[in-house]
A and B are shown apart, each in its own frame.
Chain A
Amino acid sequence: MNMNASVARLNDSVGDETQRNEAEVAIDAKINSIYYGKFRAVRDSHVPIRKGEITGFIGPSGCGKSTVLRSLNRMNDLIPIFKMDGDVHFMGQDIYAPSIDPVLVRRHIGMVFQQPNPFAMSIYDNVAFGLRINRFKGDMDERVEGALRQAALWDEVKDKLKQSGLALSGGQQQRLCIARAVAPGPTVLLMDEPCSALDPIATRKIENLMHDLKEHYTVAIVTHNMQQAQRVADTTAFFSVDISDGQRCGHLVEMGRTNELFENPREELTRKYIRGEFS
């Protein structure tokens, strides 16, 4: 892909690092604390995201799943009161190092949001957006078609690529957003409850899609639906929130292979949560 000099620099360092330790881990997040202003939202969580796998984040509402996910590609930098103590290594490079441009990080680590959020432009332009801002010089039509096929949307929109992305149904919009996110070829894809606004059929489509995405991308997905986590995730991270000292502070409780975590959790908290005794 055609990118500017700083991109090339990060790409180089990424390349070096991979050669050095042939890492299994795409993103290694060691979070001591995340603060919103004075409020400590997340503490002591070490979350390794394994390469080429789907990692699911589950846990009760407010435990910091979105916060952790969004700190993996510096989306939280958009929130002025956000502060993090810890480091996040993306293939060996600390993405919070002062020399790293968050814009660059987000070009490598794409994101799909809870609410479908296509731009008020044509379907084609939505998908081409990331390619254009990366100054892609190759065959745009081919890349757009490829991305739409990957998002299992091509057949539904191939005759109306010039139509507004906002004119699609919610499920189609969400797949459009996935196509938009994969088009520039990110390494990792972060998804924050991508199916929560969708009906079961659209949800199934996106779940099937994720199995295909796994071949090309590393995926981390937040979900409230434990069946979904079991269906799609190879590894699952369970977060919880302790309310003991009057503060609500989220943290990672345990993380492991999905079937192990669901069948034989190590922690009592996890057991309770997946049995539905706790919410």
Chain B
Amino acid sequence: MKSVMSGAKNDDEFSPSAPSFYDVLSDRGVRWIAFGAGGIVVFLGLYIIFEIASAASPAIKEYGLRFFVDTRWDVSRQEFGILAEIWGTLYSSLLALLIGGSFGVGIALFLSQGYLPNRLSQIFRLVVEMLAAIPSVVYGLWGIYVVIPALRPVAAWLHEYFGFIPLFSTSLSGPGLAPAVIVLSIMILPTVAAISQDAFAQVPQKVKEAAYGMGATRKQAILKVILPTASSGVMGAIVLGFGRALGETMALAMLIGNVNQVSLSLFAPAKTLASLLASNFPEAGQVELAALMYAALALLFITVVVNAIGAYIMSLSKKQEAI
């Protein structure tokens, strides 16, 4: 190769060379390592699902679909159902999403649309991101020692005067849905804020200029142009926040009260799938273990579906930007 190429040129001139044996080898090596790492992740995921499903199979055979409409979790009678847990999981996550999601999007707008000087908004951003670094158990302790005592008089007052509204139909006697939801809202806030901030940052400058150039006020530009343009990214952020709320275990197990019931009341204790798993595993016998595995499978299914929807919506927003 080299001799052919260098024929026309001066011999001491630099000329391109073919990749060496070592280059080729290391290139292939890196490719295989990447491929292998990806493969292991996929394999692990499938393996976990398989293991859980096979451990759950006695319970699946025994309880079938009845498992999802039964509220009892009775170890002595060996009657198991997770309706109350599914309700608790979805209810607490949706409420947390309502609070944490709207605050998260609001904070993202506040930090990305020039309401604050640059330096200050960076500090704010750091603080919000640090919320994600606080361990779940710390949130749980904070909930027990700060949120519940602070909430109790409010709950008592609401129950006394507005008890006819189903949301306030019980009083707060300690742990319950409301403190769990408040803490959960704070826990998902950084997720929603960070991802929707990215979505707002991806709104092209020329679109913002168009809005302001038309004489839009900042509020009009945000509500009518920037938010709709970033909507799919924001939706993705909300769905991923929801996924995070569904799977949260420790803080909820500490705060929600772990009582099997389906109630609309914000102050009643409840139970989630994750907290059921965390609290019942250590002492479960064989039959209960299979039922717990079945519950784990249900939780896995819900979170996978929610995250897949989130990822899909985010990919839509990427496509839209390509135009």
A120 within 8 A of B: yes
User: Given the complex, which residues of A lie within 8 Å of B224, measured CB to CB?
Assistant: 129, 132-133
Set of chain A residues within 8 Å of B208, measured between Cβ atoms: 78
Enumerate chain A residues within 8 angstroms of B216, measured Cβ to Cβ: 103, 129, 133
CB of B320 within 8 Å of the partner chain: yes
Which of chain A's residues have a CB closer than 8 A to the CB of B311?
none
Q: Which of B210, B320, B323 contacts A113 (CB 8 A)?
A: B210
Q: Are B215 and A104 in contact (CB under 8 A)?
A: yes
Interface residues of A in 90-131 (CB under 8 A from B): 103-108, 110-111, 113, 115, 117-121, 129-130
How far does the Cβ of A101 sit from chain B's closest Cβ, in whole Å? 9
Chain B CB within 8 A of A180 CB? yes
Instruction: Please measure, in the bound complex, the distance between the C-alpha atom of A104 and the C-alpha atom of B320, giving whole angstroms.
Output: 32
> Which one, B207, B212, B320, contacts A119 given CB within 8 A?
B207
Give bound CA distance, A103 to B211, whole Å: 11
- In the bound complex, what is the Cα–Cα distance between A150 and B210 (angstroms)? 19
Contacts of B323 in A (CB 8 A): 166
Q: Is the interface of A mostly helix, strand, loop or mixed?
A: helix
Asked if residues B215 and A106 are in contact (CB atoms below 8 Å), the reply is yes
- The answer to whether A103 and B206 have CB atoms under 8 Å apart is no
Q: Which residue of A lies closest to B208 (CB)?
A: A78
The size bracket of the interface on B is 20 to 34
Which A residues, 72 to 88, have Cβ-Cβ distances below 8 Å to chain B? Answer: 73, 75, 78, 80
CB-based contact A113/B215 at 8 Å: no
Contact A103 B215 (CB under 8 A): yes
Minimal Cβ-Cβ distance residue in B for A125: B224
Evaluate contact between B209 and A75: CB separation under 8 angstroms: yes
Q: Does A18 contact B (CB under 8 A)?
A: no
- Identify B213's interface contact among A106, A115, A132, CB under 8 A: A106
Q: How many of A's residues come within 8 Å of B, CB to CB? A: 29
Interface residues of B in 174-233 (CB under 8 A from A): 204, 206-217, 220, 224-225, 228-229
> Contacts of A259 on B, CB cut-off 8 Å?
none
From the candidates B207, B215, B320, name the one contacting A117 in the complex (CB within 8 A): B207
Is A196 part of the contact surface with B, judged by Cβ < 8 Å?
no
Query: Pick the contact of B215 from A120, A121, A130 — CB < 8 Å?
Result: A130
Q: Decide if A117 touches B228 in the complex (CB within 8 Å).
A: no
What number of A-B contacts does a CB cutoff of 8 Å give? 67
- Chain B at the A interface: mostly helix, strand, loop or mixed? helix
Smallest CB–CB gap between B277 and chain A, Å? 43
Inter-chain CA distance A129–B229, complex, in Å, is: 14
CB of A79 to closest CB in B, whole Å: 10
The interface residues of chain B lying within 8 Å CB-to-CB of A121 are 228
Q: Mark B101-124, 1 if CB is under 8 A from A, else 0.
A: 000000000000010000000000
Interface centre among A75, A105, A120, A177 (most CB of B within 10 A): A120
Min Cβ gap B322→A in Å is: 11
In contact, A177 and B215 (Cβ under 8 angstroms): no
Closest to A111 in B: B213
- Min CB distance B320 to A, Å, is 7
Query: Within 8 Å of chain B (Cβ to Cβ): is A134?
Result: yes
Minimum CB–CB distance for B313 against chain A, Å: 15
Residues of chain A from 139 to 176 with CB closer than 8 A to chain B in the complex:
166
Instruction: For the complex formed, measure the closest distance between the CB of A113 and the CB atoms of chain B, giving whole angstroms.
Output: 6
Shortest CB–CB separation between residue A182 and chain B, in angstroms?
A: 11
Instruction: Tell me the nearest residue of chain B to A177, going by C-beta.
Output: B210
CA distance A57 to B258 in the complex (A): 73
Chosen A-B contacts, 9 in total, with CB atoms closer than 8 Å, are A105-B215, A107-B214, A107-B215, A119-B229, A120-B229, A129-B216, A132-B224, A133-B215, A177-B210
Please name the 9 residue pairs, one residue from A and one from B, whose CB atoms are nearest each other, closest first.
Answer: A107-B215, A106-B215, A111-B213, A117-B206, A117-B210, A130-B214, A120-B229, A133-B220, A103-B217
